[in-house]
Amino acid sequence: MVYISKQDEAWDITETIIMKMSDVCAARNVRFAIVTISMPVQVHPDHAMRTSLNKDLGVDTLFYVDKRLANFVQENGIPVFNPTPQMHKYSKTEQTFLHGFEGNLGSGH
C-alpha cells in the first residue's frame, strides 16, 4: 500500500483541476491564466512576526504555495501572475499594511 498524505492529495486534486480548466479553455480557443493573491501574513510589514510564524509553522517560507503553483503552471505552459513578492517588498520598504481596514489592519482583504 502506498501512503499519500492529505497535502499530496490536495496538490494532486488542485493540479488536476487546473489542467482540466486549461484543457477546457484550449478546446474553446479561450486564453487561460492563473492569478494569485497574497495572504495577509505574506505581506505583513513586521519581519519579526513573519519570522516567528515561519518558526511556529515549521516552514522555511510563507511563499511555498505561490512557488509550487508557479512552477507547476509554468511547466505546463500556463501563464501566471503573482504580485505577492512585489507587495511583500513594498510593505517592508514602506512599513505599511496592504490588507485590512482601519481597526483591523494586517488581516482580511
pLDDT of residue 1: 60
Q: pTM for this one?
A: 0.79
Task: Report the share of the chain in percent with pLDDT over 90.
Answer: 68
Q: How many CB atoms lie under 10 A from the CB of residue 94? A: 10
Cα 2 to chain centroid distance, Å, stands at 28
- 53-101 pLDDT, tens digit per residue, is 889 988 899 999 999 999 999 999 999 999 999 999 999 999 999 998 8
Domain boundary assignment for the chain: 32-109
Reported as type and span, the H/E element at residue 97 is: none
Q: Which three cell numbers stand for residue 45?
A: 510589514
- 4-20 pLDDT, tens digit per residue, is 788 889 999 999 999 99
List for the chain the helix, strand, coil content (%; round to 5): 55, 5, 40
Confirm if 69 and 34 have CB atoms less than 8 A apart: yes
